[in-house]
Amino acid sequence: MGFQSHALAFTILFVNTFFFKYMLLGVDSATPSIVSDKEALIAFKSQLSFDTTNLLSTWDVNNSSSSPCNWMGVVCSNGSGERVIALDLSGLRLTGSISPHIGNLSFLNSLQLQNNRFTVLELMANEITSALAEELGHLTNLKVLKLGRNHLFGAIPPTIGNLSSLIHLNLGTNTLHGNVPSDLGRLKSLEMLDITINNLTGILPPSIYNLSSLVDLAVASNDLWGEIPYDVGVKLPNLLIFNFCFNKFTGKIPGSLHNLTRIEVIRMAHNLLEGTVPPGLGNLPFLKMYNIGFNRIVSSGEDGLSFITSLTNSTQLNFLAIDGNHLEGVIPESVGNLSKVLSKLYMGGNRIYGKIPTSVGSLSSLTLFNLTSNSISGEIPPQIGQLQQLQMLGLGLNNLSGGIPNSLGNLLKLNNIDLSGNSLLGSIPSSFGNFQSLLSMDLSNNKLNGSIPKESLSLSSLSSILNLSNNFLNGPLPEDIALENVVTIDLSKNLLSGHIPSSISDCKSLEALFMAKNRFSGPIPNALAEVKGLEMLDLSSNQLSGFIPKDLQNLHALHYLNLSFNHLEGEVPKGGVFGNVSSVHLEGNEKLCLHFECLNSTRSGQGRRRVVIVGIITAIATLALCIILFYLLHIRKSKARSTQASEATKGQFQMVSYEELREATGNFKEENLIGNGSFGTVYKGYLREGIAVAIKVLNTQMTGSWKSFAAECEALRNVRHRNLVRLITSCSSIDFKNMDFLALVYEYLSNGSLEDWIRGKKMKANGEALNIVDRLNVAIDVASALDYMHHDCEVPVVHCDIKPSNILLDEDLTAKIGDFGLARLLMEKRGTQTSISSTNVIRGSIGYIPPEYGLGEKASTAGDTYSFGVMLLELFTGKCPTDESFRGDLNLPRWVQSAFPENLKVIIASDLLLLAGDAYVDVDDDINDEYVIPEIEHDCLATVIEVGLCCTKESPDGRITMRHALHKLKHAQLAFLKYTNGTKK
């Protein structure tokens, strides 16, 4: 029986209603014509296996002058622009396949194929947008149904189970939803089932596991859950491909899979599998891919990775991924005996320790080697330099020591090298100049010294990032910097000296340049203004001198500029980025002046003398006034308080008067009230220069307000960071009621507090909440500031009140920590002695206070980490830590822990889930199988929640540091951005 008439509507629906994108080889789809129609028909005929009546003999494929409009069953449009508009081949008893090339008949509006004997319907990779029709179940002779890579939606109709002859079913890469129908278990002849990359939910029906003829079972990248049967390898004895990755399958890895001696692909990555790797891997001689990454697989002891030895029998293995688990152990020397065709080896994100075996140099086909985020120690084996095919080397975030081997310069095909976060010593090898394909180099956070080789600054292929920050590199930079394609250069926190070369202008693609905390001297080169795409520039904490180049104001993309703590002088430009006070940091340059100040400084000698005389008189008058005020204040307040205020503001900015602040806020009108801090109210105002500011007026009648004022001044005098709200000036005066008046003047941040965004009081212009990227950026901003306060300040600073209402967002949604009213310097230096600060007062806000503070423990960096962890969990769950549902011992971290990781979606904020994107797809050429890029949103969210839980451990000793938390968040961000930009793993 052939196609029945009642199934015809479905066939016509596919061809007539939708535009097929599939193209014939050699046909330019941009210029379709009767010629392309003819070639499509010829391709269609080539897929027919039997023409019993020879009725298609008129389709003369060898006569180039023959018009298809004269062929049997073909109808063309009238006029000069002839095109095929109808095809009627009904009742011809044709057999074979309905070729997807028929989609090139772009003017076709009628297709009649009923009463034939077609057995193959292949319409892969088109633009079909439709639900699957129930009538598909009537095509009972169909053997192959390929509808993958379209835009099909709706549920899989159970009637497909009627296609008893079906051998090959491909519905992958669509938007199908609902459960997988158990009726598919009736397809007893089925050899290939592909439903990957859809939105299917629920358990995989047990009937699927009874299809003993299955060779290829692919259900990856859906929302399927449940345990994989332990005897799946017994029930499906013919399996060659088993692809279950990127779902929510639980339980253990079925040991029976390791008994399928002919299996080629086992993929179970990105699920919730636990337990150990079962024995039997040595039974798989034909295995090509083994991917169990990003589960909860465990092992313990030094021989915890011994299963790798079993894989040495798999001589065709070219992909091995065990990353993102809880595997412990030492990499066995036998790793060098793995397949000679092994191209990708993922082992990062585990608990692997010991040394990297030298035998790894025997893996001659390796293109990717990733050991990032483990506890690997020892030196980098020089034998890695023998891996001539290597394109990606990831050894970051380990405990590696010793020098960087010169042999790594032999890796001429290397695209990415990450050695960051170790304890590597010595200089950067000059052999790195041999790299011909390098896109990214990260050697940050090590102990490297010596000068930067000129070869490393001449890699024209470098197009992503060069990160050499936080080392001990010294000496001047080479005169010629030839990184014309690099986007980010980070040389901050080193000992580099000399001038900044003008050749920096040759970095035409540069968007971010970080050179802070070095010893650079001389002027800022005008050539920087030629880097038109520059967005971020940080030259702070150097010894730069001279004027700020005026042309920097012409860099329209520049939105962050930090030139603080140098020896710059002269007038500050007024245009461009300089017009936004929150984007520019110039403090610590005593000779810089604004326009009107510079005019005063250039007056005549007589004018200068007049100014001096007036200044002397003013000083005397001021001194007299101060004596009177001091006397009055002495009556009102204790001498200790006035001393405290003067000490707090010593060395700070020029203070403003009460009258100036009253004028700036319109006499502190309620309409200018924008919030309340821990010790006062906050107003929006405008200084006389027109600068928008936030003015925090302290309640001097409240106990502790003077201490808060002193603490905030002292803390902010010792810290400078782009993610800390910048203190512009302060005021310690008397108001019009002759009462004490204390105020702090900050930069104004237009997007309010993080609390406003979490509670839905603030939204984007398009009405959306913060998405995953926004929230991750906020988390990294806050973590960066705390990492700086805890680890990079000469005297560590503890904030003591981290919570969403104290996190403010600027116009670009950059987060900054504010309200240092409770801040403590962790160590107070007194002469040559050092003592630890302590207090018996519980510091912080309810819900964010670490448990040890309630037991009388002193303020600590671990306390800040706890508060950050609570804030992080609140940011991604939307759940307030003081929610009334938290009663007894239940709190936000415990509530999250109870659902993590199995029920991640239950705890994630609903508005965030609505913004989650779809999965992506690529092709793995080695396996000739669809390669699924993960639902990275799930992985990213899981990492963030895990960081939050690690920060909120009950014991302070059990918490990770802010530096560790920052590394984990940045790693999650990097992975997320790589995948969402289509990068293949």
Angstrom distances, CA of residue 531 to CA of 485, 516, 534: 12, 18, 6
Torsion over CA of 637, 643, 644 and 649, rounded to 10 degrees?
120
Number of H helices, E strands in the chain: 17, 57
Catalytic residue among 418, 442, 801, 939: 801
Q: Which two tokens stand for residue 447?
A: 């102990």
DSSP-derived pairing of the beta strands 833-836 and 827-830: antiparallel
Bond prior to 901 in cis (omega within 30° of 0): yes
Tokens read off for 107:
């003017």
- Pick the closest to residue 859 from 844, 838, 845, 835 (CA basis): 838
Strand order in the sheet with 740-747: 673-676, 680-686, 692-698, 740-747, 727-734
Q: What is the DSSP string of 815-879?
A: EEE---TT-EESEEEETTEEEE---SS--S-TTTS-GGGGGTPPP-HHHHHHHHHHHHHHHHH--
Q: Measuring CA to CA, which residue among 329, 328, 326, 331 is closest to residue 345?
A: 331
H helices of 349-477, in order, are none
Asked whether 174 and 220 are in contact (CB, 8 A), the reply is no
* C-alpha span between 704 and 87 (Å, rounded): 88
- Give the DSSP letter string of 622-690: HHHHHHHHHHHHHHHS-HHHHHHHHHHHTTSPPPPPHHHHHHHTTTT-GGGEEEE-SSEEEEEEE-TT-
Element containing residue 475 per DSSP (H, E): strand 472-476
**Do 260 and 285 touch, CB atoms closer than 8 A?**
no
CB-based contacts of 417, cutoff 8 Å, min separation 6: 392, 393, 408, 411, 438, 440, 441, 442, 443
CB 151 within 8 A of CB 195: no
Which residues are within 8 A (CB) of 881 and not within 5 positions of it... i.e. 6 or more apart?
A: 846, 847, 848, 870, 873, 874, 891, 892
- 696 among annotated binding-site residues: yes
Q: Tell me the pairing of strands 95-98 and 399-403.
A: unpaired
Angle at 969 between CA 964 and CA 975, to 5 degrees: 125
What is the rounded CA–CA span in Å between residue 572 and residue 583? 14
Q: What is the DSSP letter of 59?
A: -
Distance CA 277, CA 242 (A): 16
Cα 303 to Cα 9, 290, 356, 363, 817, distances in angstroms = 62, 20, 14, 21, 46
DSSP string, 415-442: -EEE--SSEEESPPPGGGGG-SS--EEE
Residue labelled with tokens 């140098």: 566
Q: How far is CA 898 from the centre of its chain?
A: 26
Write down the residue that tokens 């690690």 correspond to.
950
Please indicate whether residue 28 is annotated as part of the active site. no
Q: What is Dmax (Cα atoms) for the chain? A: 119
Give the residue from 466, 465, 409, 400 showing the smallest Cα distance to 434: 409
Q: Specify whether the CB–CB gap between 774 and 973 falls below 8 A.
A: no
Residues 6+ apart with CB under 8 A from 936: 919, 975, 976, 979, 980
For residue 565 the two structure tokens come to 């703590």
Identify whether the C-beta of residue 521 lies closer than 8 Å to the C-beta of residue 545. yes
Residues flagged as binding site for ATP = 696
Catalogue the active-site residues.
801
Residues flagged as binding site = 696
